[in-house]
A and B are shown apart, each in its own frame.
Chain A
């Protein structure tokens, strides 16, 4: 017992010393460098386009195309009918900024959930992620005039599908300054401030996997969605929830169905089979109302009291 009493402090001291000498020095480690050549010699593909010709996820083996084209049409509706319409974003005359221009004569409506009387859901994006093989480029993009207007502190139109490389004219029709700002996930962002009647040109350089939010930093409630694609197979639903996508080559296609009020796509792989030339696939796509409230839904309000304001 006596021996232990003597040894213990010595052992502890030795331990502490060992700890001091053994630790530290991690931050000054000299890294080892390996060189990776700029071009991968082993990779035969120099094709920059991603996933070109790659199999679409989930397709087992598409039936051979016979060269015909069909149409996918239908409606997107709320399952079980009515959803309460959203309260106005800004009440008439109550705008925090520029009340003389914004919501001066009427409320600014919340366009994030537009449901028709019979349950049709507007502004739903229905699109293919990648152009199908044997597709038909049906749109005369040159003739198209795309305009994103800002009037009464509302973006018009609220939703838009656009081809990459096609310019959208952005315009400010208000007497107060606006800016148009996009933050695409993949492509170049855009940001331009505009005085009354000034215009700018917004061009998307790359297709995006989901629609891009457009905002105005002056008026934070302003919002629009734009989806750039490098093929014509993308539309938004009309006010009654209807849509039509023509010129789909015969085969199986997987559509993305996306709405701004859902964090994830409503359907990430909605399967449509075009069996023969002239085939028309009609679908009524039902969406649960619960799926559309998970964004910006009822949340506990935090009220901050401050003497500095």
Chain B
């Protein structure tokens, strides 16, 4: 009996052990990746992991326009007797590599230094000396590619000695670096961003940025899925990506009327790191989607199986005709087709990563700036805006601005499946039900500055049925912008309108200040 109870206790203890390991953070793959035939699917995954890594072992792919964070430094002292070294004394700061001509020094500041920051796990790449270009670093090669695999183990800054200190590495350098060798420590923003993302963002937006964290299913609207590379509230053109400033503003101010809170208390460097990490996640997600899209229509499981069948028939015919030497089998045909996919994948990856790079490059973005200053908020301006509103906006937002236009009863078609949604109403690109904004509440998700409203009307909202009205109000660009301001003036006035009267009436009779009691509903 006693033995039995002890046994149970031991078993219970053993069962407890795996539960005590911290859960491993992993990126999930897209459902379409999983729908590819197995070998092609794993080739896509392998490439994705090689180019972006995992949450715990992240890859700073320098092709992507992400600011991973760089500290430049120089070796100042190495133990002379040692034939190899784990640690040596270094100095951070602007001296060391003059050849960069300050191109990486943004805002006129000197090259940043790590201070007391924890540098553990960050990559170190050598810019001069024997190790420059990673030429002597062994291991960590993927298909012959050289990866800079050295990582920092610890950094302890001298208390009195400015930016000097002792740098320890996780790997042994044999032979040790020479005094004067310059290096860069890469990835502190990626690492810091990942840690902050895990603490603040992940439970809603998910580890992979797929908007499917554990909290997500209880939220309406759902947290954003960054993977398609679509962001709703941006200052740039609808086809562009958002700027860093746009992402920062959303994180700082939150999104009113949703569960996205304001993170105003984050420090500037924390904010910057999170923004870079979110961009990196979005690039990873879109990269995967694009790779799979190029392969999906040939290598989806069902299509692939059909192709194998028909290729096998043809192959057997050819074998009988004598145009084929070996008798094909199902396995050999499968291998042939998969080999074709594997041969195509590097070129597809090259192409799609360059498309992504261009899309996220700041120089390729156009920020929407009105050509004329805001029209004074007069009764006449609002009345003109009201006319535009009825013509263009009322179909969705309703004649009185309550978000109850006729479109709420229309049936939309799901673009992915080309099927009608079973329920009436509007849906966004993520397939989620979405309501036209109720404008009587005065809550504007993309921000309540006049320029925010102008941009929402002018460029529409990415990923939603809200279309851009750029150039629609007049063929003359300046007049069009002035009309847009009229509409903005009217939208600001909607919460103060008396119900049942036209804008012109209420504006002239009461004026905005007199009627400033929030609408009674």
Q: Is the CB of A97 within 8 A of B469?
A: no
Which residues of B are found within 8 Å of A32, using beta-carbon distances? 56-58, 121, 151
CB <8 Å contact, B469 and A35: no
A290 at the interface (CB under 8 A from B): no
Smallest CB–CB gap between A127 and chain B, Å? 12
> Which of B23, B298, B466 contacts A268 (CB under 8 A)?
B298
| A-binding segment of B245-253, B268-276, B343-351 | B343-351
Q: Which residues of B contact A1 (CB under 8 A)?
A: 1-2
Binary per-residue interface labels of chain A (20-32) against chain B in the complex, 1 for a CB within 8 Å, 0 otherwise: 0011111111111
Given A18-B16, A220-B410: A29 and B22 within 8 A (CB)? yes
The segment from A76-84, A137-145, A179-187, A233-241 found at the interface with B is A179-187
Are B62's CB and A35's CB within 8 A? yes
Q: Mostly helix, strand, loop or mixed at chain A's interface?
A: loop
B259 close to A (CB within 8 Å): no
Q: How big is the A interface, by class?
A: 35 or more
Q: Which of the 9-residue segments A55-63, A65-73, A279-287 touches chain B?
A: A55-63
B: number of interface residues (CB 8 Å)? 115
B13: chain A residues within 8 A (beta carbon): 15, 18
Identify which of A24, A34, A271 contacts B57 (C-beta below 8 A): A34
B44 within 8 A of A: no
A54 & B145 in contact (Cβ 8 Å cutoff): no
Is there an interface contact between A183 and B429, defined as CB atoms closer than 8 Å?
Answer: yes
User: At the interface, yes or no: B118 with Cβ under 8 Å from chain A?
Assistant: yes
The reply to whether the CB of B73 lies closer than 8 angstroms to some CB of chain A is no
Known: A34-B58, A51-B344, A97-B406. A43 touches B350 (CB 8 A): yes
B interface, CB within 8 angstroms of A = 1-2, 5-6, 9, 12-13, 16-17, 19-20, 22-25, 50-51, 53, 55-63, 68, 118, 120-123, 125, 140, 143-149, 151, 186-187, 190-191, 194-195, 198-199, 202, 238-239, 290, 293-294, 296-298, 300, 302-303, 306-307, 310-311, 314-315, 318, 323-324, 336-337, 340-341, 343-344, 346-348, 350-351, 354, 391-392, 395, 404, 406-407, 409-413, 415, 417-420, 422-424, 429, 460, 465-473, 475
Q: List 23 A-B contacts (CB under 8 A).
A: A19-B19, A24-B22, A27-B199, A29-B22, A33-B151, A34-B53, A36-B61, A37-B148, A38-B63, A43-B346, A47-B350, A50-B344, A51-B347, A58-B314, A60-B318, A96-B410, A129-B298, A186-B293, A193-B467, A198-B472, A215-B413, A217-B465, A296-B418
**Chain A residues at the B interface, C-beta cutoff of 8 Å:** 1, 3-4, 8, 11, 15, 18-19, 22-43, 45, 47-52, 54-58, 60, 63, 96-98, 129, 177, 179, 181, 183, 185-186, 188-195, 198, 209-210, 213, 215, 217-221, 223, 256, 260-261, 263-265, 268-269, 271, 295-296, 299, 301-302, 304, 309
A-B contact sample (16 more), CB < 8 A, given A60-B336, A179-B467, A296-B418:
A1-B2, A3-B2, A26-B22, A30-B120, A31-B195, A35-B148, A36-B60, A36-B62, A38-B63, A55-B343, A179-B468, A193-B392, A223-B413, A265-B303, A301-B422, A309-B404
